[in-house]
Amino acid sequence: METQQPTQLAAGRLEIRPEEHAALVDGRPLSLTMRELQLLVTLAGHPQRIMTREELFAAVWGSQPRRDDRSVDVYVSRLRAKLGEALPETQLIHTHNGIGYRFSPDG
Amino acid sequence: METQQPTQLAAGRLEIRPEEHAALVDGRPLSLTMRELQLLVTLAGHPQRIMTREELFAAVWGSQPRRDDRSVDVYVSRLRAKLGEALPETQLIHTHNGIGYRFSPDG
DNA sequence: CGGAGCTGTGAAAATCCTGTTAACGCAGGG
DNA sequence: CCCTGCGTTAACAGGATTTTCACAGCTCCG
């Protein structure tokens, strides 16, 4: 069981405070939904690591995804949209075809 | 225990003087009730911080809210109405779904 | 007493979030 | 070219949450 309680995660101008339910850019919180935040926390909690959809789903939804479930993709898309609004020209979440996604603190 | 006694809180045209039981817009006092003022002071005392209903209730009512208590929401609504009258086109209090509310000095 | 204002509560109305599906685009292979 | 596999995102319906309204009890005065 991999439980982690980082009080703070940082990635350039982005700062994540899981216990405060907040993801800040320049000190200003983004309005993320619960799911979006959980997903971001999970990804950012494992920087530079390629995480499979299964891993992500398990961490955020707490169960196994159905076959052909696209929830993770949809939420990554929503998350990217909001991050992109606050941090244009920055690509924090990278796609790894056929595998999953990876969070890179440095763009 | 986090007690603070700021003699003054400012947010653009809004000025709050807790010890004088007053909230002013352009020097003109708003007529807020006790609860509304306490709520505003609490929120404004933690700018940009997402505060849960529990935190807010504890700070303003001095106890734990019942389950499914909507007092905080109702008072936020009343407070917004009065702030919105004095400062149209300004959104000082932001909702964070599933969590609580946040005060942002800059709209 | 009678009026005015504040409070908390319940419930309807409005808004937002979620999970799902499907359409679309892109790249690679045959 | 056409087909296929994969990722991205628009759209939608249902559910969950928040916002607002109405109301009844209280208190504070004149």
Which residues, listed in sequence order, are joined to residue B29 by a DSSP beta bridge? B24
Based on its alpha-carbon atoms, the radius of gyration of chain A, rounded to whole angstroms, reads: 13
CA B46, C1' C7: Å apart?
25
Instruction: Give tens-digit pLDDT for B35-65.
Output: 999 999 999 999 999 999 999 999 999 999 9
Q: What pLDDT, on the 0 to 100 scale, is given for residue B9?
A: 84
pLDDT digits (tens, 9 = 90+) for A35-67: 999 999 999 999 999 999 999 999 999 999 999
| HSE (side-chain half, CA atoms, 13 Å) at A72 | 27
Residues pairing with A93 in the sheet: A103
Q: Do the chains contact at A28 and B48, CB–CB below 8 Å?
A: yes
The confidence score (pLDDT) of residue B107 equals: 82
Q: What is the pLDDT of residue A1?
A: 44
List beta partners, residue B25.
Answer: B14, B28
Mean pLDDT computed over B98-104: 98
Percent of chain B scored above 90 by pLDDT? 90
Q: Give B69's contacts (C-beta < 8 A, 6+ positions apart).
A: B53, B57
- Are A91 and A40 spatial neighbours (Cβ–Cβ below 8 Å)? no
Reply yes or no on whether the pLDDT at A3 is more than 50. Answer: no
Collapsing DSSP states into helix, strand and coil, what is residue B70? coil
Asked if pLDDT for residue A30 goes beyond 60, the answer is yes
Tokens 């009512």 -> residue: B61
The per-residue pLDDT for range A84-106, each reduced to its tens digit, is 999 999 999 999 999 999 999 99
**A7 versus B39: which is more confidently predicted?**
B39
The model's pTM is: 0.92
Q: Which residues of B touch A (CB under 8 A)?
A: 48-50, 52, 94, 96-99, 102, 104
pLDDT band for B4, please (50, 70, 90 cuts): low
Compute chain B's Rg from CA coordinates.
Answer: 13
CB contact burial A46-75 (16+ within 10 A = b; e otherwise): beeeebebebbbebbbeeebeeeeebbeeb
The pLDDT value given to residue B74: 98
Nucleotide nearest the Cα atom of B70 (by C1'):
C9
Task: Provide the sign of the torsion angle of the four alpha carbons B74, B80, B86, B88, taken in this order.
Answer: negative
Strand arrangement of the beta sheet that strand B50-52 belongs to? B50-52, B100-103, B93-96
What is the rounded average pLDDT for all residues in chain B?
Answer: 93
Q: Pick the range with the lowest mean pLDDT from A18-22, A59-63, B2-6, B15-19.
A: B2-6
Residue A31 structure tokens: 């309005």
One-letter amino acid of B84: G
Protein-proximal nucleotides of chain D (any atom < 7 Å from a CB): 6-11, 17-22
Fill in the DSSP letter of residue B66: P
